[in-house]
């Protein structure tokens, strides 16, 4: 039986490209209304533009789906709350949150500044906290919610030059474990997805990965299952 999302509303962060884009397109294709959130910055978090999110919304609408773009930084709690308020005003509920926004500032620990360490943790961990906190009471009141954190093998196993990224990604696992316990009585299911996919975030790895076998579209079916009923 095909997984469908008619009547469901989803927020996908970091959805302007790569995994987030694939997630947003797939959710919309299966009937969900989707908030496409993306700051539109560089991989290191610099800059910003709504163009990336708007392009994905255009794809969804061209295919007959319903979506809206949002360029809030997940590190800005007030902007995240405004995004959630706009979603509620437009569609009246939020059923699915995919915490996928991320940045990279890779260096060995010896050469890494505390600023770069904090920034990566702020985006990956606190960004997920900000977004999850903003929808948590809505999902509790609904008695329904599905939340997925995007973690990484860099956190599970370590990766050279990614102490900040690995620490942030593993912290998401701890957050997920506790929220899955606390949310269970309100039918809020919280999971992590640890993908390996060829996206803008992995383009520097080159021949170290069999890139043709790592398309982001191969990860999204797992996400769809985790956010289904």
Give the active site residues: 165
Strand partners, 55: none
Q: How far apart are CA 130 and CA 153, in angstroms?
A: 23
Q: H or E segment at 89?
A: helix 77-91
Return the H-helix or E-strand segment holding 36: strand 33-37
Q: Taking the mean position of all CA atoms in its chain, how far away is CA 183?
A: 19
Contact partners, residue 208, CB within 8 Å, separation at least 6: none
Edge-to-edge strand list for the sheet holding 67-70: 67-70, 33-37, 9-12, 96-99, 145-150, 188-193
């Amino acid at each position: 039986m095909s997984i469908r999302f008619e009547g469901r509303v989803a927020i996908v962060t970091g959805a302007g490209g790569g995994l987030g884009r694939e997630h947003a397109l797939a959710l919309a294709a299966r009937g969900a209304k989707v908030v496409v959130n993306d700051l539109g910055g560089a991989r290191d978090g610099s800059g910003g533009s709504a163009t990336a999110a708007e392009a994905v919304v255009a794809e969804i609408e061209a295919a007959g789906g319903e979506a809206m773009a949002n360029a809030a930084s997940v590190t800005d709690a007030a902007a995240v709350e405004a995004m959630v308020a706009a979603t509620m005003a437009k569609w009246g509920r939020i059923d699915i949150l995919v915490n996928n926004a991320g940045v990279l500032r890779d260096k060995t620990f010896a050469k890494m500044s505390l600023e770069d360490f904090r920034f990566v943790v702020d985006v990956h961990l606190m960004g997920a906290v900000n977004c999850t906190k903003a929808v948590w009471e809505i999902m509790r009141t609904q008695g329904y919610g599905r939340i997925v954190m995007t973690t990484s093998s860099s956190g599970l196993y370590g990766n050279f030059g990614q102490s900040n990224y690995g620490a942030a990604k593993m912290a998401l696992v701890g957050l997920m474990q506790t929220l899955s316990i606390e949310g269970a009585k309100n039918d809020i299911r919280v999971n992590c997805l640890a993908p390996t996919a060829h996206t803008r975030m992995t383009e520097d790895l080159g021949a170290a990965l069999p890139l043709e076998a790592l398309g982001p579209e191969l990860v999204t079916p797992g996400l769809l299952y985790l956010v289904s009923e």
